[in-house]
Structure 1
Amino acid sequence: MNHRTRPRATRVAATAAILGLGVIGAQSATGATQADEPTSTPVPISTPDGQVSSYVVNTKVANPGQVRKAEQAVESAGGVVVQSWPQIGVIIAHSTDAQFRIAVVAAGRNSIESAGPTRSVAVSEGTPAGAQAPWGPGKGQLKPSAAKPGDISAGTTEVAGDPLEGQQWDMQMINVPQAHEITTGSPDVTVGVLDSGIDPDHPDLVNQIDRSQSVGCTDAGRPAQGEAAWAPTTSDHGTHVAGTIGAERNDVGIVGVAPGVRMASVKVVNDDGFIYPEYAVCGFMEAGLKGMDVTNNSYYVDPFEFWCGDQPEQAPAMEAVRRAVDWSTEQGTVHAAAAGNSAYDLSDKTTNASSPNDAAEPTDRVINSTCKDMPTELDGVVTVSSIDRQGKLSTFSNRGLDSIDVAAPGSSILSTIVRGDGWGTKSGTSMASPHVAGVLALMKSAHPTWTPETMIDEIRSQATDTSCADVSRGAPCVGTAAENSYYGEGIVDALAAVR
C-alpha cells in the first residue's frame, strides 16, 4: 500500500495569479505559460447581432453588492441576467448584441473582472421565462446537433433480471464486497451525479434517488426542480454511472459500490449532449448549497476539450467553473472526475483538434500548460484514469504524471441502463470515475467528520500501488509503483477506505 500524499498544488503547471476576491481568495484557473511554451492558438467565437448568445460575467469581489452592480452593467450593455451566483461572483447572461462582452466590462469597470462566451453557437434552449429578454421569444434557436459521446463502446445489451453481482468483476477488483462487510454506506451521505439524469423508475435505482435534492441545470444554467428537470431524456449515461455508484442491494440486477447512500440527479447534459460552463457552474453550486457530500463528474465541459487560460475568450468560463468547484469544496463536497477518453498525456499538452465541438468544424490548435480539461484538472478534484479487467490502463484512457490521482475499472462495466429498465455494459473513464465517487461515499460514511482535503489525501494514500512494468498504451508509463502516469497513486481500494 502507498501511504504517501502529495500537495494538490503540484498539479498546477505554472504559478497562477492570486485574485483579491473577497470570499473567493483562491488561485485562478488560468495561470501562465511556462517559459519554453508557445501561446495557444486563438479560437475566435462569433456572437453576431440578433443571435442569442450566452456569457459568463465574473465580478472582482464576490459579494451581493458587487454582483448587483455587475447585474446593472449587464442590463445597461443590452444583456439579460439569466442566473446570478453571488457566493462566487458569477453571473450568467444572454445578449443579442455582438459587442456585449466588450460593452459589459466597460459598463462594469469597477465591479467586473472578466466576461466571455460559454458556447460557439446560439443558445439552443433560448432564454428562460422570466429573464425579461427584450428581443422576444423564438430567437437564437439552434437545430439539434449530434450528441458528444460520453463514453466508449456504449453497448446496451440487456441482461436477464437475475442477480448479476457475480458478473461485476470491477467490484471484486477494488474490494467492494469486503468493504460491504463493514458498511454499505450511510443514508446520511449524498452523492450528486452531475450527468444526463438518472432513470427514476429503474428497479435498481428507484429507492436510491433523493428527489428533494435532485435538480436540472440545462435551462441556460438556471436550476430547476421537479422530475421533468432532472430525469434523462436522450441519454442513459447518467443512469449507468448512478448504478455503479449506488444500485440497491435488492435481489435484482447489480449492486453499486455504496448501495446504502443516497444519490441526487444533477442534470448538466442537454438534449444535444453538451455540458456548457453555465450548466457545470449550476451543478457544482447546487451540490454545495444542498450539502451533497460527493459529486461524480464523468464529462468535460464543452465546447472545449481543453480550455486555455492564455486566451481571453476562454479564461472567463474557466474562472467561473473554478470558483464553483472551489466554493462547493469549501461547503464540504468532494469531487471525482473522469480523466478523459482521448488517450492523451495530460502532463504534456501540445495540440488538440476536437474543439470547439459545437462548431461546424473544430479548430486544429496548439495548446499548452494553461489549457485544462475541466473539471478534472482543477485543484480539489480527484482525477480518475481507467483500467481493464487485467488491471492495465484502458487503451482510450488519458494519463499523465502528476495529472492522475487514482485508477479504477472502466472497460466493459456492467451497470443500469434506461432501455427496458435493464442492465448493459459501457466503457470509458466515465465508468471509472463513479467507482471512485462510490468509494468516497463509503469513506464519508465511515468517517463523517473528514473534510474533502482529508478524503482526497486518504483515497490517494490508500490506493494499491501498481507498477508500470510490462504495460504500454501508446506511450511509456512514467514513474514508480508509488506514483506513475498511468495509475496515479494506485488502484482505488474500497476496503481501505472504510477500515
Structure 2
Amino acid sequence: MVAGTLAAGSPAIGAGAEATPSGGGTSEYLVFYAPGGEAAALDAIRAGGGTAGAVDGKLGYVLARGPRTGFAERLGTSPSIAGVTADRRIGSATALTSQDAAAPAERTAPSTALSAAGTAGGSAAEAQAVSAGATVAGHGDPLSGRQWDMKMIGATAGGSYAKARGTKKVLVGIIDTGVDGRHPDIAPNFNRALSRNFVVDHPKDSKGKTLDGPCEHKGCKDPADEDDEGHGTHVASTIGSPLNGIGVAGVAPGVSLVNIRAGTDSGFFFLKPVLDALTYAGDAGIDVVNMSFFVDPWTFNCAHNPSDSRAEQLQQAGIITGVQRALDYARARGVTLITALGNGSTDLGEPTTDKDSPGYPAGSERERTIDNSCVNVPAESRGVISVSAVGPSKRKAWYSDYGTEQTDLSAPGGDPSDAGTSLKGTAREILAAAPASALRKQKLIDASGKPVGSSVVRDCHRGKCAYYQYLSGTSMASPHAAGVAAILVARFGKPGKGGLLLSPAKVEKLLYATATHTGCPSSGSTTYTVSEETHVCEGSSAKNGFYGHGLVDAERAATTKG
C-alpha cells in the first residue's frame, strides 16, 4: 500500500492502462473517496478483493487493482466511495474533418476552395505576398487574409495586435494531443521548459487493433514538443502563433504556449492523464488552460440513470467527480479554464437520448434515455467557460452543441455549410498550424511535401516551409476565447507563480463584459433545421443558448479599462 500524495506524472499501478472492466482477471481502477474517507476507502478496496496502490490526496482518489467482475459494485456499497472508474480510455478530441463539418444534407457535395497560393477574399497582391512569405501591410502575417475568424473578433494588425498581443509572462496551457514545438509558427512562443507529456502511446488497443501506431520513442512516450495527431498544434496556433512573417498569427501572438499533453496519438484521452494535466496546470502557475476535448466513453455522464448498471453508474460518477475535483484544484490556483462545448448538435439543457455511449470499446454503443441530470464533461462541469462555435456569417455552426445553461461564450469554429458568406468550402473553416508528420501520416501531403487537396496550405519563407490546415469544430472555437483570456491576463494580471496572476472570476467577468452581445436569429427562435432537427435559440441578446454572453472580442479586450 502506498500512502501520501501522488505527484502529477509519478509512476503508479496501471497508469494509462487499457483496462476492460468485464470478463475474468483484474483491472486498474481510480477509486474516488468522499471527503475524509481515505481510510474507509482503503478498507473497502481490501474488503472488495482489491489491492490499493498510490493515493492522490490532492484529488482524493486511490489507484487500485481489483477483479474485473463485481469489484466496482462491492465498493459502491460503502458510503466512503464517490465513484469507481476503470483506468482506461475516456475521451476524444472535438475537431471535425472538412467532410464531417458539413451539414448532413451537404456532406456528399464536393467543396470548392482556394488554391494554396490564393488568399480568401484577398487581392492578387496579397496572393503574391502569400507565395513569397512576406507580411502583408495592414494584414498581419502572409496567410492572415485567410483568417476570417481573426477579423471577426478584431484580432488583426489594425485591431488588437496594435494594442495588446499578450506577453511571454502569460502561460497558456494546451491540454490536448500535444504541440509541435518545432513548427516555425509555434517555436518562437513555445515554452519547452514547462511543457509536459502525461501519456504513453499504445500501439494497439485491448483487442489487438492498431491504435496509436508504432512507438517512435523509447518507452512509447513522445517528447513534450511533438504532436503526432495534429489537433493540439492547431489549437495552440489559434491561441498564440506569433506575428513573425510566416503563415498565420494567433489571437494573442505574444504569449507563452505550454504543452500539457493528456491525449494519445489517436486523439483519445485517459482519465488519469487528464487529472494529472489539470493538477500540473495549477501547480506550475499556468494562467489559462484550453480544453478542446470531451470526456468519454459516455457522451453524457449519468450517475443515477436507471438504464445503466450499477458499475456503469459508478464509472460515470467517478468521471464527474474526478474531473470536477481536478478543475477545482486548478481554478483555486489561478487557472482560467476554457473548454469546447461539443459537436453533438444538441441542446445540452434538454437531452433526451444518447446513442453514442459507451463509445469505447468500439461497438459498445447503445441507445439510452437520458435527461438534464446527465452531463457532458468538462463542458458542463462547474468553474469552466464553455464555448460554442459559429461560422463565418456568425450563424451558430450546425454541429455546435448549445443551451441556455451551458453556453457561456461563442467564437469562430468554422462551418463549411454556412451559406451566408462569400467564402466557399474549406475557406469557411479555421486555418492554423499543422505538424508535417501528422499531415504525412494522414496522406494530406505527398512525398515531395506538396499538399494533397484544399484542406492544407504550405507557406514558405527564406527556404523554410510550414504547413497549415483547415479544420472545424468547437475545438477550434474555444482557443479563440483562450487567446482573448490571455490578453486580459496580460493587461490586468499581477506577478504570480510562474507567470501573471488574475483570478479566474475576474477573467470570466472581463470576458463576458467585452464580448459582443449577439441575439437569437431575427427569423424567430429557430436558426435552421439540421437533418429534420430544429435548433431553438432561447434567451436575450445579453445571454442565450446559441451565443451565451456573446461573441468573444479581442479588440475590446485589448482596450477595455477593466
User: Counterparts of 1:285 and 1:171 in 2: how far apart (Å)?
Assistant: 31
Summarize deviations over 1:118-167 as a string: whole Å, max 9, x none.
46xxx58xxxxxxxxxxxxxxxxxxxx9x956312258996757321222
Q: 1:117 maps to what in 2?
A: 85
Does residue 216 (structure 1) correspond to residue 216 (structure 2)? The answer is: no
| CA drift at 1:69 | 6.8
User: Counterparts of 2:243 and 2:545 in 1: how far apart (Å)?
Assistant: 35
Q: State which of 394, 406, 410 in structure 1 corresponds to 2:409.
A: 406
User: Counterparts of 1:253 and 1:233 in 2: how far apart (Å)?
Assistant: 19
Residues 94, 174 of structure 1: CA spacing in aligned structure 2 closer, same or farther, 3 A cutoff? farther
User: Counterparts of 2:403 and 2:94 in 1: how far apart (Å)?
Assistant: 21
* Counterpart code for 1:493: D
Residues 285, 75 of structure 1: CA spacing in aligned structure 2 closer, same or farther, 3 A cutoff? farther
User: Counterparts of 2:65 and 2:190 in 1: how far apart (Å)?
Assistant: 33
Summarize deviations over 1:32-59 as a string: whole Å, max 9, x none.
xxxxxxxxxxxxx8432225x3422122
User: Counterparts of 2:220 and 2:527 in 1: how far apart (Å)?
Assistant: 47
SS at match of 2:540: coil
Q: State which of 155, 179, 183 in structure 1 corresponds to 2:160.
A: 179
Q: 1:445 maps to what in 2?
A: 490
| CA drift at 1:204 | 0.5
Aligned residues: 422
User: Counterparts of 2:244 and 2:221 in 1: how far apart (Å)?
Assistant: 23
| CA drift at 1:90 | 2.3
Q: State which of 316, 319, 335 in structure 1 corresponds to 2:318.
A: 316
Check whether the contact 1:161–1:253 (CA below 8 A) recurs between aligned residues. no
Q: 2:335 maps to what in 1?
A: 333
Does residue 352 (structure 1) correspond to residue 354 (structure 2)? The answer is: yes
| CA drift at 1:253 | 0.7
Check whether the contact 2:173–2:281 (CA below 8 A) recurs between aligned residues. yes
* Counterpart code for 1:321: V
Q: 1:416 maps to what in 2?
A: 433
Q: 2:224 maps to what in 1?
A: 230
Matches within 5 A, 1:132-281: 148=92, 150-154=94-98, 162=133, 163-177=142-156, 178-219=159-200, 228-232=222-226, 234-281=228-275
* Counterpart code for 1:402: E
User: Counterparts of 1:232 and 1:288 in 2: how far apart (Å)?
Assistant: 23
User: Counterparts of 1:441 and 1:209 in 2: how far apart (Å)?
Assistant: 15
User: Counterparts of 1:117 and 1:237 in 2: how far apart (Å)?
Assistant: 26
Q: State which of 510, 518, 521 in structure 2 corresponds to 1:466.
A: 518
Check whether the contact 1:338–1:383 (CA below 8 A) recurs between aligned residues. yes
User: Counterparts of 1:298 and 1:277 in 2: how far apart (Å)?
Assistant: 15
Check whether the contact 2:291–2:340 (CA below 8 A) recurs between aligned residues. yes
Summarize deviations over 1:46-85 as a string: whole Å, max 9, x none.
432225x3422122226xxx64774576467555666543
Summarize deviations over 1:145-192 as a string: whole Å, max 9, x none.
9x9563122589967573212221111111112222222101111111
| CA drift at 1:334 | 0.6
| CA drift at 1:99 | 3.3
Q: TM-score, normalised by structure 2?
A: 0.69
User: Counterparts of 2:116 and 2:335 in 1: how far apart (Å)?
Assistant: 34
Structure 1, unaligned runs of 5 or more: 1-44, 125-144
Identify the range of structure 1 (207-216 vs 296-305) with the bigger mean alpha-carbon deviation.
Answer: 207-216
Residues 82, 234 of structure 1: CA spacing in aligned structure 2 closer, same or farther, 3 A cutoff? farther
SS at match of 1:380: coil
Residues 456, 370 of structure 1: CA spacing in aligned structure 2 closer, same or farther, 3 A cutoff? same
Identical residues among aligned pairs (%): 30
Q: Point out the structure with max Rg over C-alpha.
A: 2
Q: 2:506 maps to what in 1?
A: 454
* Counterpart code for 2:181: P
* Counterpart code for 2:71: F
User: Counterparts of 1:170 and 1:278 in 2: how far apart (Å)?
Assistant: 34
Residues 296, 464 of structure 1: CA spacing in aligned structure 2 closer, same or farther, 3 A cutoff? same
Check whether the contact 2:42–2:52 (CA below 8 A) recurs between aligned residues. yes
* Counterpart code for 1:354: D
* Counterpart code for 1:48: G
Summarize deviations over 1:329-381 as a string: whole Å, max 9, x none.
00000111111111100111111101111132302011111211111111111
* Counterpart code for 2:469: G
Does residue 376 (structure 1) correspond to residue 379 (structure 2)? The answer is: yes
| CA drift at 1:105 | 5.9
SS at match of 1:407: strand
SS at match of 2:237: helix
Residues 382, 68 of structure 1: CA spacing in aligned structure 2 closer, same or farther, 3 A cutoff? same
| CA drift at 1:92 | 3.5
User: Counterparts of 2:175 and 2:471 in 1: how far apart (Å)?
Assistant: 18
Residues 205, 78 of structure 1: CA spacing in aligned structure 2 closer, same or farther, 3 A cutoff? farther
| CA drift at 1:243 | 0.4
* Counterpart code for 1:174: I
Identify the range of structure 1 (267-276 vs 227-236) with the bigger mean alpha-carbon deviation.
Answer: 227-236
Q: State which of 279, 291, 297 in structure 2 corresponds to 1:303.
A: 297
User: Counterparts of 1:365 and 1:410 in 2: how far apart (Å)?
Assistant: 29
User: Counterparts of 2:132 and 2:45 in 1: how far apart (Å)?
Assistant: 54
Does residue 497 (structure 1) correspond to residue 554 (structure 2)? The answer is: no
Summarize deviations over 1:281-332 as a string: whole Å, max 9, x none.
1221111111111110111011111111323331122111101101110000
Q: TM-score, normalised by structure 1?
A: 0.77
User: Counterparts of 2:504 and 2:29 in 1: how far apart (Å)?
Assistant: 30
Q: 1:60 maps to what in 2?
A: 34
User: Counterparts of 1:206 and 1:465 in 2: how far apart (Å)?
Assistant: 35
Does residue 397 (structure 1) correspond to residue 400 (structure 2)? The answer is: yes
Q: State which of 531, 538, 541 in structure 2 corresponds to 1:481.
A: 541
Structure 2, unaligned runs of 5 or more: 1-19, 100-112, 118-130, 134-141, 202-217, 305-312, 415-428, 437-448, 450-465, 495-501, 529-533
* Counterpart code for 1:59: Y
Q: State which of 429, 435, 454 in structure 1 corresponds to 2:474.
A: 429
Q: 1:90 maps to what in 2?
A: 61
Check whether the contact 2:32–2:322 (CA below 8 A) recurs between aligned residues. yes
